[in-house]
C-alpha cells in the first residue's frame, strides 16, 4: 500500500484544465518559486497522510453520478513524491481503461521538462498534458491554466492533444473557485498578478482580516 502526503483534493474543479475535473494537490515542494501563492503546500510534513487506494476510491465516489472530464495533479511538487505519483497515475489509467472512461490527466510540476524526461519517463507516459517549469512571478501574465509564460502546456498523448484542440493559450476563460472547508478558505485556480493583494484589501475594507494566508507566510 502506497501512502503519501496530500494537501487537498476537490471535485469539481473547473479552472485548471478542461471541463469538470478532480483536483489533487500533493503536499511538499522544495522549489520555492518567488511569488508562489501556494506556500501552504511547501512543508513536506504537512497535509494529510492518505493511501493511494483510498484516494482512488474517493475519486470514484465523487464522480460516480456526475461528469468527469479530467484529473488535475498539482501541488506542492507531485514529483517529490514519485512513488506515490506513479502508483496514482497507474491506478487512474487502469480505472479509465477498465471503465471505458474518457478523462484526461493534466499534471503540473515546477521542475524543468528536461529533468522530468530524464528522471521520470515512466511517469510521463501516463500523463496526457504536462505543465512543467517553475513559476516566474515577474513574467506572470494571464495565460490559460498557467501562471507564467515559461510554463508550456505539453500534450504528451493523443488524448492530451484532443483536450487542447481549439483552446486559446491566453486565458479569456481564466477563473477562480472558492471552497470553504474545516474553517479554511481554499482558492482554486491561478490568480492574476496582484489579485490576492486586492482581495485581501477588499476583505480588510469590510472589517475582516485573513490569517495564515498561503501567499505571504
Ligand atoms: S509555484 Fe508550484 S513549484 Fe513553485 S513553489 Fe509553488 S508549489 Fe512549488
CA of 111 to the centre of ligand 1 (A): 9
- CATH (residue range 3-205): 3.20.20
For residue range 59-90, what is the model confidence (pLDDT) as tens digits? Answer: 999 999 999 999 999 999 999 999 999 999 99
Distances (CA, A) of 57 to 51, 119, 173, 192: 10, 29, 31, 34
CA of 152 to the centre of ligand 1 (A): 15
The per-residue pLDDT for 173 is 58
The residue contributing the CA closest to ligand 1 atom 4 is 33
Residue 215 CB–ligand 1 contact under 6 Å: no
Q: What percent of the chain is modeled with pLDDT above 90?
A: 71
CA-to-CA distance for 45 and 43, rounded, in angstroms?
Answer: 5
Residue 41 CB–ligand 1 contact under 6 Å: yes
Q: Is the pLDDT of residue 217 over 60?
A: no
Residue 63 CB–ligand 1 contact under 6 Å: no
- pLDDT category of residue 199 using cuts at 50, 70 and 90: confident
The per-residue pLDDT for 69 is 97
Residue 37 CB–ligand 1 contact under 6 Å: no
Q: Is the pLDDT of residue 188 over 80?
A: yes
CA-to-CA distance for 109 and 29, rounded, in angstroms?
Answer: 10
Name the residue of 46, 72, 134, 191 to mutate for ligand 1: max ligand atoms within 8 A of Cβ: 134
For the segment 159-177, the average pLDDT, to the nearest whole number, is: 79
Residue with the bigger pLDDT between 176 and 168: it is 176
For the segment 51-62, the average pLDDT, to the nearest whole number, is: 98
Residue 17 CB–ligand 1 contact under 6 Å: no
Question: Which residues fall within 8 angstroms of residue 159, CB to CB, at 6 or more apart?
Answer: 104, 128
The residue contributing the CA closest to ligand 1 atom 7 is 76
For residue range 98-150, what is the model confidence (pLDDT) as tens digits? Answer: 999 999 999 999 999 999 999 999 999 999 999 999 999 888 778 889 999 99
Residue 39 CB–ligand 1 contact under 6 Å: no
Residue 75 CB–ligand 1 contact under 6 Å: yes
The per-residue pLDDT for 192 is 79
For residue 16, how many other CB atoms are within 10 A of its CB? 22
Q: What percent of the chain is modeled with pLDDT above 70?
A: 96
- Cell numbers of 144, please? 490559460
The per-residue pLDDT for 169 is 62
The per-residue pLDDT for 216 is 67
Task: Name the residue with cell 505539453.
Answer: 154
Amino acid at each position: 500500500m502506497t501512502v503519501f502526503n496530500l494537501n487537498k483534493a476537490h471535485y469539481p474543479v473547473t479552472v485548471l484544465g478542461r471541463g469538470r475535473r478532480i483536483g489533487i494537490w500533493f503536499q511538499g515542494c522544495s522549489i520555492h518559486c518567488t511569488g508562489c501563492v501556494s506556500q501552504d503546500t511547501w512543508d513536506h510534513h504537512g497535509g494529510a497522510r492518505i493511501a493511494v487506494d483510498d484516494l482512488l476510491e474517493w475519486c470514484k465516489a465523487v464522480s460516480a453520478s456526475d461528469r468527469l472530464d479530467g484529473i488535475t495533479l498539482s501541488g506542492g511538487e507531485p514529483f517529490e513524491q514519485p512513488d506515490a505519483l506513479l502508483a496514482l497515475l497507474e491506478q487512474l489509467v487502469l480505472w479509465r481503461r477498465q471503465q471505458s472512461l474518457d478523462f484526461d490527466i493534466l499534471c503540473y510540476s515546477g521542475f524543468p521538462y528536461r529533468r522530468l524526461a530524464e528522471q521520470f519517463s515512466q511517469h510521463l507516459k501516463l500523463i496526457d498534458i504536462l505543465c512543467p517549469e517553475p513559476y516566474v512571478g515577474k513574467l506572470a501574465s494571464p495565460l490559460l491554466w498557467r501562471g507564467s509564460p515559461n510554463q508550456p502546456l505539453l500534450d504528451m498523448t493523443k488524448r492530451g492533444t484532443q483536450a487542447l484542440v481549439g483552446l486559446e493559450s491566453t486565458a479569456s476563460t481564466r477563473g477562480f473557485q472558492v471552497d470553504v472547508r474545516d474553517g479554511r478558505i481554499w482558492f482554486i485556480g491561478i490568480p492574476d498578478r496582484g489579485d490576492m493583494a486586492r482581495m485581501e484589501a477588499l476583505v480588510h475594507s469590510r472589517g475582516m482580516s485573513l490569517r495564515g494566508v498561503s501567499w505571504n507566510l
